[in-house]
């Protein structure tokens, strides 16, 4: 591999190619089906919320002028002339001087009222209340449109739908929303040496794990329809058959694990000769250096390493970021913290490094212990670590006690 | 409401009641179906990984003794007698003095070899290599069991399955794993004032949003099968019918939104009279004070506020924590950061407060701006905030510039 690209070049060119090769149709879903889907167009509130001035608490709607001078020792007596709950239309009762109306939180403000007293500010005896404090105009009232106004942006294109968005859309009366269809991904495991978990191990063979790493990561991220094709031997004809079948099935992206390596005789190198074009071939990052992408019969192929951690790094740093860039995804980025690095962590200048770390909380300060190991196939590191740092290509690394950004595994 | 319990009492008693009322069967799923499910029994590695000493890099397997004294200026010449890839059994080739074998990462170490030289440490010409450095014994070798050993714990009971676990299980040859069945939850929206999103608004009516907040939160958390029953009026007979139907359907938990309030005439207060027993009735927390739980015909009912933020608080602080406690869930806790509080945030001593905040990253330091508003129904606060702080009942609040723990919305 000679023309390795930088990580940012890989992300940019993959993002561009996603846009060129995938026609991501929009579909309408019910609110109950929307969680985790990607909003396809900006959504604005259709009306004010609340639709009219409303009560913010359980209590008594009053005319503020009636409560002038009221104190604990000099209460004002008001007559309670009715009850209003949310959903009731108050137009049939109106406050006259010296009266009040019992209200439940969310009820529309009755006509004549301009303040609401909380239960603890009054004493109720029979149909009378004794008011122990003055109620300034507007007390405990939610003004029309205070929550949101007609035309306010509730959710924007590219946003991944979360409970807060569902709440806002429901509250504004929307049930059907437009989202992108899920992105269809097929995962192909490549390698003569592989056997599937669940089979009996044959001497020297290794269990396929990388394809399952990617499968699980895609399922977890929730915006994909994921297919798994099984293991294909290191044979370019067999691989081509699978690619052709997946292309005809209408998949958007084919992800392969394995079959990449130093040798020009690797099966990925050979199938690239039949590709429409190469997106990038090898990335200046570690792990995941052999990560390669090309277009085959109009579809993107992302070829990841055969080693699970390296394969995952290719998904995590390249495909996820390319998707974020392409669709303007919001709420899809990894959460991160800042942590004190436990030891010096060197980097090969020119390469972006992903270093897994074990984060621990020491009395309110996060510390990150880098977990560096030879070989990118080390599974136990994935179980033990709970975050990763990314060292940019221009840095020689981080020193002990540097404060670094740690992305948290989901 | 008189006998409000503390938040921790509510969590404890709900956790206990979950254990008493739910029989959470175990089922076997394939690895591809396992992501997001809860592991039902500890899983140990069935064999060492790697199963034998293996090569950690692409390069040449050598006898370390043959490389003694090799330097850039005084290379040692070795004959390459074969190639080994992962999955090939090396028993038919053995290293004699003066020979080496080309190896690909992950290949088993050939007999006679005790070190592996990387490509950059040798020069290859025809069937010869020139070795430019001494190879200490063990160089670039992954020892048998170095990744994990037979009997190592790979995943433990109560763990929510994530890509790292899937990877480890696949790598150890496991395809079928035991997980708990999903917890079946029915959501019932209560309130005469409610109409469903998608319908035309009638004056004074409000759109049902709380049930959708809870629906979306449960879907996102992934361990539930979620049903939604629709809106039930404030009518105890209608509610009983729905409860009876859901109980007969075999639901584990019924969650209601709304129907709780100050008044003893509220529908939840009235149906409690027909309950087997009360778990708790009102919680010393804000928002979410009316949150109530009881057992109805052997099934847990969790009655949440009708206001979306208060309902969500009940789910977030009570049910989630009770589930974590009951099942010993690992990987289900919210991620958190530490942030500098932008302003003084008072608390009612005796109450646990959940305060939503807007977190921003200022050059590597997180700041949290509390978003306090009257009424717990304010939707826009959910859209604007991205985390929350919890003020324990014994504190009077936090001061400006206090460093506080902020839980991040998922």
| B108 lies within 8 A of chain A by CB | yes
CATH 2.170.190.11 is the classification of domain B54-142: yes
- Average pLDDT, integer, range B111-130: 93
Q: How many CB atoms lie within 10 A of CB B114?
A: 18
Cα separation of A171 and A173, whole Å?
5
Shortest CA gap A255–chain B (Å): 16
| Residues B47-74 pLDDT 10s | 888 888 988 888 999 999 999 999 999 9
Chosen for mutation from B144, B148, B171 (greatest number of chain A CBs closer than 10 Å) is B171
State residue A268's pLDDT score. 93
| Residues B97-111 pLDDT 10s | 999 999 988 888 998
Residue B27 C-alpha from the chain's centroid: 19
| Residues A248-293 pLDDT 10s | 999 999 999 998 865 556 899 999 999 999 999 999 999 999 999 9
| Residues B275-318 pLDDT 10s | 999 999 999 999 999 999 999 999 999 999 998 999 999 999 99
| A358 lies within 8 A of chain B by CB | no
Name the stretches of chain A with pLDDT < 50.
376
For domain A336-408, give its CATH number from 2.60.120.10, 3.50.50.60, 2.40.340.10, 3.40.50.980: 2.40.340.10
Please list, in sequence order, all residues whose beta carbon lies within 8 angstroms of the beta carbon of residue B248, skipping any fewer than 6 positions away.
none
CATH topology classification for B7-23+181-327: Molybdenum Cofactor Biosythetic Enzyme; Chain A (3.40.980)
Cα separation of A53 and A39, whole Å?
31
pLDDT at B27 over 90: yes
CB contact under 8 A, A47 and B167: no
Residues of A in contact with B408 (CB under 8 A): 335
State residue A101's pLDDT score. 94
- Residue A140 is nearest to which of B140, B209, B374, comparing CB atoms? B374
Cα separation of B287 and A257, whole Å?
49
More confident residue, B2 or B106: B106
| B50 lies within 8 A of chain A by CB | yes
The helix (run of H) or strand (run of E) holding residue A149 is: none
CB contact under 8 A, B87 and A164: no
Please list, in sequence order, all residues whose beta carbon lies within 8 angstroms of the beta carbon of residue A237, skipping any fewer than 6 positions away.
none
Is A198:B176 a contact under the CB 8 Å cutoff?
yes
| A332 lies within 8 A of chain B by CB | no
- Residue A108 is nearest to which of B105, B198, B204, comparing CB atoms? B204
CB contact under 8 A, B215 and A176: no
Residues of B in contact with A161 (CB under 8 A): 216
Work out the pLDDT band at B375, boundaries 50, 70, 90.
low
| B219 lies within 8 A of chain A by CB | yes
| Residues A51-82 pLDDT 10s | 889 888 889 999 999 999 999 999 999 999 99
| A371 lies within 8 A of chain B by CB | no
Residues of A in contact with B267 (CB under 8 A): none
- What value does the mean pLDDT of chain A take? 92
CB contact under 8 A, B175 and A198: yes
pLDDT above 90 coverage of chain B, percent: 79
Interface contacts A/B by beta carbons within 8 Å? 282
| Residues B172-194 pLDDT 10s | 999 999 999 999 999 999 998 89
pLDDT at B263 over 80: no
Considering the segment(s) A28-49+147-179 as one domain, its CATH architecture is Alpha-Beta Complex (3.90)
| Residue of chain B whose alpha carbon sits nearest to that of A222 | B220
Tokens of A366: 């996060």
| A172 lies within 8 A of chain B by CB | yes
| B333 lies within 8 A of chain A by CB | no
Main-chain phi, psi angles of A309, to 5 degrees: -70, -40
Residues of B in contact with A213 (CB under 8 A): 163, 166-167, 170
CB contact under 8 A, B147 and A377: yes
SS3 string of A248-292?
A: HCCCCEEEEECCCCCCCCCHHHHHHCCCCEEEEECECEECCCCCE
| A47 lies within 8 A of chain B by CB | yes
| A216 lies within 8 A of chain B by CB | yes
Residues of A in contact with B199 (CB under 8 A): 173
State residue A148's pLDDT score. 87
Domain ranges (residues) in chain B: 7-23+181-327, 28-47+156-179, 54-142, 336-408
Q: Which residue has the tokens 């561009």?
A: A16
State residue B129's pLDDT score. 96
CB contact under 8 A, A204 and B32: no
- Residue A382 is nearest to which of B146, B167, B308, comparing CB atoms? B167
- Average pLDDT, integer, range B232-261: 94
Quote the Cα angle for B121-B123-B129, to 5°: 105
State residue B289's pLDDT score. 92
pLDDT at B149 over 70: yes
Shortest CA gap B333–chain A (Å): 11
- Residue B382 is nearest to which of A167, A173, A263, comparing CB atoms? A167
| B84 lies within 8 A of chain A by CB | no
pLDDT at B125 over 90: yes
| A269 lies within 8 A of chain B by CB | no
State residue A264's pLDDT score. 55
| Residue of chain B whose alpha carbon sits nearest to that of A233 | B87
| B199 lies within 8 A of chain A by CB | yes
Which residues 113-142 of A are in CB contact (within 8 Å) with B?
119, 140, 142
* Least confident segment among B154-163, B265-274, B338-347, B400-409: B265-274
Which residues 53-72 of A are in CB contact (within 8 Å) with B?
56-58
CB contact under 8 A, A164 and B219: no
| B2 lies within 8 A of chain A by CB | no
Q: How many CB atoms lie within 10 A of CB A181?
A: 17
Tokens of A278: 């190469």
Considering the segment(s) A7-24+181-327 as one domain, its CATH architecture is 3-Layer(aba) Sandwich (3.40)
| B169 lies within 8 A of chain A by CB | yes
End-to-end CA distance of chain A: 32
| A405 lies within 8 A of chain B by CB | yes
| B338 lies within 8 A of chain A by CB | yes
CB contact under 8 A, A35 and B216: yes
Cα separation of A191 and A210, whole Å?
11
Cα separation of A283 and A3, whole Å?
8
């Amino acid at each position: 591999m000679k023309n390795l690209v930088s990580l940012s070049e890989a992300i940019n060119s993959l993002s561009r190619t996603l846009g060129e090769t995938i026609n991501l149709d929009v579909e309408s879903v019910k609110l109950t089906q929307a969680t985790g889907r990607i909003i396809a167009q900006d959504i604005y509130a259709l009306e004010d919320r609340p639709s009219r001035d409303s009560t913010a608490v359980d209590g008594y709607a009053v005319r503020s002028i009636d409560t002038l001078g009221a104190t604990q020792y000099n209460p004002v007596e008001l007559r309670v002339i009715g009850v209003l709950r949310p959903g009731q239309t108050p137009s049939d009762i109106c406050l006259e001087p010296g009266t009040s109306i019992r209200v439940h939180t969310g009820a529309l403000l009755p006509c004549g009222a301009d303040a609401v007293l909380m239960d603890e500010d009054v004493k109720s005896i029979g149909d009378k209340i004794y008011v122990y404090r003055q109620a300034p105009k507007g007390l405990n009232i939610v003004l029309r449109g205070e929550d949101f106004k007609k035309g306010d942006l509730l959710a924007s294109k590219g946003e991944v739908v979360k409970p807060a968005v569902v709440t806002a859309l429901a509250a504004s009366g929307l049930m059907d929303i437009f989202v992108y269809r899920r992105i269809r991904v097929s995962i192909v495991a490549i390698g003569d040496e592989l056997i599937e978990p669940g089979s009996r191990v044959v001497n020297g063979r290794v269990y396929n794990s990388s394809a399952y790493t990617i499968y699980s990561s895609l399922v977890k991220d929730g915006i994909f329809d994921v297919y798994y094709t099984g293991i294909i031997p290191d044979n370019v004809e067999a691989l081509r058959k699978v690619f052709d079948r997946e292309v005809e099935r209408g998949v958007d992206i084919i992800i392969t694990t394995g079959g990449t390596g130093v040798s020009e005789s690797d099966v990925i190198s050979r199938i690239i000769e039949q590709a429409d074009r190469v997106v990038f071939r090898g990335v200046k990052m570690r792990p995941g250096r052999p990560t390669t992408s090309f277009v085959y019969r109009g579809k993107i192929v992302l070829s990841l390493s055969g080693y699970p951690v390296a394969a995952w790094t290719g998904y995590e740093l390249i495909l996820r970021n390319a998707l974020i860039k392409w669709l303007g995804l919001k709420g899809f980025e990894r959460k991160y913290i800042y942590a004190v690095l436990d030891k010096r962590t060197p980097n090969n200048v020119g390469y972006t490094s992903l270093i897994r770390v074990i984060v621990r909380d020491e009395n309110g300060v996060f510390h990150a212990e880098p977990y560096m190991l030879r070989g990118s196939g080390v599974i136990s590191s994935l179980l033990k670590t709970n975050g990763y740092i990314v060292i940019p290509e221009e840095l020689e690394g981080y020193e002990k006690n540097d404060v670094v950004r740690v992305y948290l595994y989901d």
